[in-house]
């Protein structure tokens, strides 16, 4: 593969790719309290509404046809100046002094020569009413809620 032009990478590179794409990870965005639609299964094509019965289908179908989820995975764009790391072990997301969810994934996107690329990004499972564009406090830092997937180059101000 390397001879064919691929750069050999460790798991961290694929993990960064996952976060940039806004896909869930077991143990971070996903646990046994997570409904598929909360983890963006509609957006990433992880669920079929025409296939018929499967274990747990009733909840998933009812949400799709009759309601909506109260929380969803969204992107976080942290303030690049100063480039301080979001606090380790502190995952609370607050919006207007109200607890609205938790940070699930964090990644530092290194400077590549493209403006705005040296900064922290993240994923958070937050309440639906905290819309993209909102300024929240996440893991002890200011962050902007953004749509997923992240668009590169990351140029929007936090």
Which residues 88-147 are close enough to bind other proteins by CB under 8 A?
A: 88-89, 91, 102-113, 117, 139
Under the binding rule (CB under 8 A), the answer on residue 70 touching other proteins is no
Per-residue binding string, other proteins, 26-55, x by CB under 8 A, is xxxxxxxxxxx--x-x-xxxxxx-xxxxxx
Under the binding rule (CB under 8 A), the answer on residue 155 touching other proteins is no
DSSP class of residue 38 equals G
Under the binding rule (CB under 8 A), the answer on residue 17 touching other proteins is yes
- Nearest CB to other proteins, comparing residues 24 and 75: 24
Under the binding rule (CB under 8 A), the answer on residue 4 touching other proteins is yes
- Which pair of tokens denotes residue 76? 């976080």
Show contacts of 61-70: CB within 8 Å, 24+ apart.
63/35, 63/37, 64/37, 68/37, 68/128, 69/35, 69/37, 69/38, 69/128, 70/127, 70/128
Find how far residue 45's CA is from the centre of its chain: 16
- Nearest CB to other proteins, comparing residues 113 and 157: 113
Could you tell me which stretch among 5-13, 73-81, 93-101, 127-135 binds other proteins (CB under 8 A)? 5-13
Closest approach, Cβ 138 to other proteins, in A, equals 10
């Amino acid at each position: 593969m390397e001879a064919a032009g691929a750069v050999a990478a460790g798991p961290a590179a694929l993990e960064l790719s996952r976060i940039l794409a806004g896909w869930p990870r077991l143990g971070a965005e996903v646990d046994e309290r997570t409904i598929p639609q909360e983890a963006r299964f509609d957006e990433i094509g992880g669920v079929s509404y025409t296939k018929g019965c499967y274990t747990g289908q009733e909840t998933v179908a009812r949400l799709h046809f009759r309601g909506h989820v109260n929380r969803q995975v969204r992107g976080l764009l942290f303030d690049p100046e100063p480039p301080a790391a979001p606090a380790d072990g502190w995952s609370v997301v607050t919006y207007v002094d109200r607890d609205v969810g938790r940070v699930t994934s964090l990644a530092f996107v290194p400077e590549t020569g493209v403006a705005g690329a040296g900064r922290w990004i993240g994923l958070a499972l937050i309440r639906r009413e905290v819309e993209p564009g909102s300024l929240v406090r996440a893991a002890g830092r200011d962050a902007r809620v953004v749509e997923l997937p992240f668009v590169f180059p990351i140029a929007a101000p936090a």
